[in-house]
Amino acid sequence: MPQRLRPFFLACAALFTMAIAPAIPAQTSAEPPAAAPASPQSRPHRPRPKPTNLQVLPKDFTGDQVVEIMHKFEDQLGVECDYCHAKNPTPSPTTGHLDFASDANPMKDRARVMMHMSEEINQHFLTQLKTPPADQQVSCGTCHRGNAKPLPFVPTPDTPPPAAAPAKK
């Protein structure tokens, strides 16, 4: 294998073997997620408006479904909503200080590309493996691991195998 391709193959192998909770399958399912039981301290939230400008997620998703997925992205990237969503010049009672439909923030386009990339890896590449990892899919957290910008991959130095036990006589 050419030395210049080694980091690429190592990174690909790492992507395919990591066990990360899937985020993309939840995006492709049209079924609403199961409602979590409300804790005694939680208060009901106002009805979320129907999402607009959905380009990757299914257009029939409810506001609650989209928010659930977005919270997973926040956790996996270690960011807040305003990392991808533009500020709203005139805050409203339904959307607050962010304009979720706006495409003004370039990070939103980057996130969409990454969502397509993860879906492509999960649906077209992992399925080609003779023994695909069971219930393991690539998600934002596979590479980002809680960082907005993924840390560079640094392979561990090759370690020699342990010394063989002396042969019995």
pLDDT higher than threshold 70 for residue 158: yes
- Half-sphere exposure (Cβ direction) of 10: Cα atoms closer than 13 Å: 14
Q: What is the mean pLDDT of residues 71-88?
A: 95
pLDDT higher than threshold 80 for residue 34: no
Q: Please, are residues 77 and 84 in contact by the beta-carbon 8 Å criterion? A: no
* Comparison of pLDDT for 16 and 118, the residue scoring more: 118
Q: What is the mean pLDDT of residues 116-124?
A: 94
CB burial of residue 138 (10 Å; 0-12, 13-18, 19+): buried
What DSSP state is assigned to residue 126?
G
Record the pTM. Answer: 0.64
pLDDT higher than threshold 60 for residue 68: yes
Residue 139 to residue 27: CA distance in whole angstroms: 11
Altogether, the residues listed in the chain come to a count of 169
Q: What is the mean pLDDT of residues 63-78?
A: 96
pLDDT of residue 17: 39
Go through the domains of the chain in sequence order and give each one's CATH number. Answer: 3-30+49-144 (1.10.468)
Average pLDDT of the chain to the nearest whole number = 79
Give 19's pLDDT tier (boundaries 50, 70, 90). Answer: very low
pLDDT higher than threshold 60 for residue 51: yes
Q: What is the mean pLDDT of residues 2-15?
A: 48
